[in-house]
Amino acid sequence: MSLVYTLLSLVVAFALAAVIIAVSGENPWQSFQAMFMGAFGDLAAFGETIVKATPLAISGLAVALGLRTGLFNIGVEGQLLVGAIAAAWCGYAISTPAFLHIPLCLTAGFVAGGFWGLLPGLLKAKRGVHEVITTIMMNYVALHLTHYMVLNPMKDAHTMAPQTPAIHTTAQLPQIAGIGNIHAGVLVGVLLAVVFAVFISRTVVGYEMRIVGLSSNAARSAGINVSKMLLLAMLLSGGFAGIGGAVEVMGVHHKFYDQFSPGYGFDSIAVALLGGATAMGTGLSAILFGALRNGAVTMQLVTDTPKEIVTIIQAIVIVFAGAKFLRGRQSQKWDS
């Protein structure tokens, strides 16, 4: 997607938001200023923006991976939840030194999220069932299932709150650089972005996935095993999302509590679309949305503009970026 179009769609989104704020009787300029200060005003604010951007970037990569293969993984939220709870379990139930514990928890997140993505992938590859419907359903299954887990078998006995016990310090991602609360999860994010970029544009499997994404018929004619690619894409996409949840548990909350995710999995759809489903673009738009989410809290305190204006901006961005990204691509059909 061209940079000009991306910037233009952001300008349009902000302009519409400004109109909405003005119609509501508030001052758009003051609101945006407060939002900017809340996001980048000082080192602590900047740190919080990066902390918020971290899960968005990782789950944005998950969505991007699906998009590149022609799949619309709306199930990132559910995959993120099961990844987070698996990582939390590894974090409190297992005792081992940090150099083992951290990779172990991240792997648990990957496996759980990957499994959650694999099921819709299987139905897509073997039965031609549209992944959007199954991933939506899987989101709700994950939501209720994790809710059940933190109320029953995994509940912390020392509190009334629906949450797991705290993970051991050996499973916690350390804070780095001393900037706000930035934790090592951001390094995990950068690493995954590099892996994503190399995999999708420098490997044969990545290339085959992209061909499937452009046209599954052409891919089939070229002898590419389309089913295998779809399965792999959903597995990896779910796995990335699971790591996104794991990182949030290990770096920020140090436990899994009910409804810890403010909808990262849904925000990540806008993040990936705006980023044109590339590693670099997704990372940058994650920082943008992290800044918006972080700055909006300050904006709501300083001015009377509700923080949900960011959600409205996001919806507009999705329409613009989504229209451009998917145009000309054959959307995968129900029965393939």
Partner 1 sequence: MDVFDPELLRSTLRLSTPLILAALGGVLSERSGVINIALEGMMLAGAFFGMLGSYLTGNALIGLLVGMTAGMILGFLHAVLTQNLKVNHIVSGVALNILSFGGTTYLLRMIFQHAGGSPPITGLSTWHIGKVLGDQNILSLSVPILVVLIGLLLFRSPLGLRLRAAGENPSAVAAAGISFRVLRYLAVTCSGILSGLAGVYLSLGQLNMFTEGMSGGRGFIALAAVIFGKWTPWGAAGAALFFGFFDALQMRLQGQAILGHAIPSEFMLILPYALTIIVLAGLVGRAIPPEALGSDE
Among 39, 119, 125, 212, binds partner 1 (CB under 8 A): 119
Q: Which residues pair with 175 in a beta bridge?
A: 183
Long-range contact pairs involving 295-298 (C-beta distance under 8 Å, separation at least 24): 295/34, 295/35, 295/36, 295/37, 295/38, 295/39, 295/40, 295/45, 295/49, 296/35, 296/38, 297/38, 298/34, 298/35, 298/37, 298/38, 298/39, 298/41, 298/45
Among 62, 105, 138, 231, binds partner 1 (CB under 8 A): 138
Q: Pick the stretch among 87-95, 181-189, 232-240, 264-272 that binds partner 1 (CB under 8 A).
A: 264-272
Binding mask 291-310 for partner 1 (x = CB under 8 A): -------------x-x-xxx
**Contacts (CB under 8 A) with partner 1, residues 4-33:** 20, 24
Q: Is 241 in the site for partner 1 (CB under 8 A)?
A: no
What sign for the dihedral angle of Cα 312, 313, 315, 319? positive
CB of 31 to partner 1, least distance (A): 12
Residue closer to partner 1, measured from CB, 10 or 269: 269
Q: Pick the stretch among 46-54, 89-97, 123-131, 280-288 that binds partner 1 (CB under 8 A).
A: 123-131
Q: Is 331 in the site for partner 1 (CB under 8 A)?
A: yes
| CB-based contact 21:273 (threshold 8 Å) | no
Q: Is 94 in the site for partner 1 (CB under 8 A)?
A: no
Q: From residue 284, how far is each of 100, 112, 237 by CA, in Å?
A: 31, 27, 19
177 torsion bin: left (phi>0), alpha (psi -120 to 50), beta (else)? left
Applying CB under 8 A, the site for partner 1 has a residue count of: 47
Q: Residue numbers of the site for partner 1 (CB under 8 A)?
A: 20, 24, 72, 74, 119, 123, 127, 129-130, 132-134, 136-138, 140-141, 144-145, 147-148, 151-152, 266, 269-270, 273, 304, 306, 308-312, 314-316, 318-319, 322-323, 326-327, 331, 333-335
